[in-house]
Amino acid sequence: MAFYLPSRLPNVGTTIFTVMSRLAAEHGAINLSQGFPDFSPSPALLERVTHHMAAGANQYPPMAGVPSLREAIAEKVARLYLASYDPETEVTVTAGATQAIYTAIAACVRPGDEVIVFAPVYDSYVPGIELNGGHAVFAHLRFPGFKPDWDEVRALITPRTRMIIINSPHNPSGSVWSADDMATLEALVCDTKIVVVSDEVYEHVVFDQKDGNGALGHHSVTRYPGLRERSFVVSSFGKTYHVTGWKVAYCLAPRALMNEFRKAHQFIVFTVHHPAQLALADFMRGHPEFADQLAAFYQAKRDFFRRQIEGSRFVLLPCAGTYFQLATYAAISDEPDASFVRRLTTEHGVAAIPVSAFNPDGEDQRVIRFCFAKNETTLAAAGERLRAL
C-alpha cells in the first residue's frame, strides 16, 4: 500500500498564475497573466547590488533587516503618511510580501479564530489562515465597483474574529479604498481585539486621484491612528522597483505586534538577501523620485493598453490602481472565464487570468484580468490580437 499523507490544504492545487504562465509558454502566447514586468529595473539599482556583493556583503544580515534599509523605510513612511515607526523595533524586512502576510497570520491566528477577507481575494491569504488553524470568512467586493459593503462586514464580525485582511490598491480589481472606507474600518475595529493586516504592495500605483495637498491618494492604514495601533502593514520592493524576482518586502507594526511577528519570522525565513537590502537602501535615498513617479509611469501604461483595446469587443472596467486591468468579454463569448482564458491563450495568443479564480465560491461574472506592466511593444502586440476577436 502506498504511503498516504492527509493534506492540510485539500482544496489547493497549482496556482492559476503558474497554470496560465505555463500555458502561455507552451503556446508562445503573450503573457499578460502573471503580474510581473517584462522590462528591467534601474541600472543604478543593479549597480548598487554589484557594489555591495563586491564589497563583501554576502553573509547573513541581521534577522530584522539591515539598519540602513529599515531606516530608509521609516523615513519614507514618515514623509508620505506622517506616521512614525521605530526602525529598530517596528520595521522588519521580509522575503517578499507573501511571507510577510503569512508571518503576520502565523503570529496572531490560533485554531478556531476567524479571519475576514474580501473576495475577490488574493490566493495566498486563505491557505495561510487555514495552515494556522483559522477559518476564513468572506466579505464581498461587489461587481463592478469592487468596493466594500460595510454593513456586510459589520455583520460578519463575531467574538471569534481575530483578524481582518485588507488590500488597497486591490488585486485583481484595481479598485482603491477611499478615506471614508478607512475611517469606517477604523470605527468598526475600535474597542475590539481585532488585528488588521493591510496589504499595500501597490501603494505607489494609484491613478487619477489626489488628496487635498495634491499627493497621491493612497490611504494607508498608517494614516489612521486607530488602525495603525493594531495593524501589520505590508509593502513590496518588487512591485515598486520592478524586481519581483528578488522577493524583498517589508512589514510595519507597533512594537508589541512586531515582537510577535519577529518570533515567527526568524523561524520561517530568518533573514533576506543581504546585498539587495543594502542596494535598496542606497537607491531609496539616492532616487526618491523613482517611487514618487511610479504612478505616472504605470498610468501611462494603463492608458496605452486601454487604447489598444479600443475597437475590440472587450469592455474595460475602471482601473484606479495596481498594474492590472479587468475586462468583460460578454460580447465575445458566454463560456466560463476559465475556459475563455484558456482558449484566448491557445487560439489567440494572449494569456490572462480568470477573475473567478479569486472567488472562493467560484463566482463567475465573465471578467478576466490583464497585466499591463509590460513594454509598449508587448502591449501593442497583445492589443492587435485582442481586437481581432
Amino acid symbol at 217 = G
Q: Name the stretches of the chain with pLDDT < 70.
A: 209-216
pLDDT digits (tens, 9 = 90+) for 254-267: 999 999 999 999 99
pLDDT digits (tens, 9 = 90+) for 261-319: 999 999 999 999 999 999 999 999 999 999 999 999 999 999 999 999 999 999 999 99
Which option is the CATH number for 16-41+292-387: 3.10.450.50, 3.90.1150.10, 3.40.50.300, 3.30.70.250?
A: 3.90.1150.10
Q: Which residues contact 212 (CB under 8 A, 6 or more apart)?
A: none
What is residue 209's predicted lDDT score, i.e. its pLDDT? 63
Ordered by start, the domain boundaries in the chain are: 16-41+292-387, 44-290
pTM for the model stands at 0.96
Residue listed under C-alpha cell 526618491: 288
How far is the C-alpha of 138 from the C-alpha of 374, rounded, in Å?
A: 32
Residue listed under C-alpha cell 517578499: 96
How far is the C-alpha of 167 from the C-alpha of 375, rounded, in Å?
A: 26
Beta carbons of 257 and 232 less than 8 angstroms apart: yes
Strands 30-31 and 91-94: unpaired
CATH architecture, domain 44-290: 3-Layer(aba) Sandwich (3.40)
Q: In what order do the strands lie in the sheet with 315-316?
A: 315-316, 324-328, 367-371, 353-354
In CATH terms, are 16-41+292-387 and 44-290 the same topology? no
Q: Which of 235, 383, 236 is nearest to 301 (CA)?
A: 383
What is residue 12's predicted lDDT score, i.e. its pLDDT? 87
How far is the C-alpha of 20 from the C-alpha of 351, rounded, in Å?
A: 7
| Grid coordinates belonging to 235 | 509593502
| Grid coordinates belonging to 36 | 510581473
